[in-house]
Copies of this chain bind each other. A is one copy, B any other.
Amino acid sequence: MSSPSAFIGPSKTAVAGLTPARERALIQRLRAANLRTTQPRIQLAHLLFGQGDRHLTAENLFSEAKAAGLTVSLATVYNALNQFLEAGLLREVIVDSGRSYFDTNLTNHFHFYVDGTGELIDVPPQSITITEMPKTPDGFRVSGVDVVLRLEPKSK
């Protein structure tokens, strides 16, 4: 009896939602960023970029990958995240000394950060307006403006 599978894609390991079309799109994206298109990168990129704006740590992504049936190592997750970061496909959010968050939202925006749970929530840029920026010290340029609004549960 022949396999009832509707199609046989190019991936060795099937990953939910990673259709051939989606895979081609991701390959283009990696190529455009000058990254070799390896299976781990394609699959991790799919998890990262396949569900809207996301904030996640390396451990988060590693867990997701395992849950999705991938067999990538933690080191590869770190490598991929750092390469994507350097390539401008991701942005880092620094809200906790001790843990790095990666953000797939590349547009200008800020964050709410819930201490305790570690949850990050985007704040659209229009909702915060910074006027009167201080003068930048000589010899430097401002490479980023981070605004973090720390949240605590309201004590009733």
Contact = CB atoms under 8 A, between A and B. Distances in A.
B136 A127 contact: no
Interface residues of A, number: 43
Contacts of A135: 127
Given A140-B152, A141-B154, A145-B149, A131 B134 contact: no
A123 B134 contact: yes
Interface in A93-137: 94-101, 112, 114-115, 121, 123-124, 126-137
A36 interface: no
Interface in A35-85: none
Contact of A151 (B126, B141, B146, B151): B141
Contacts of A144: 148-150
Nearest to A136: B151
A18 interface: no
Given A97-B97, A100-B97, A146 B143 contact: no
A142 interface: yes
Interface of A: 92, 94-101, 112, 114-115, 121, 123-124, 126-137, 139-154
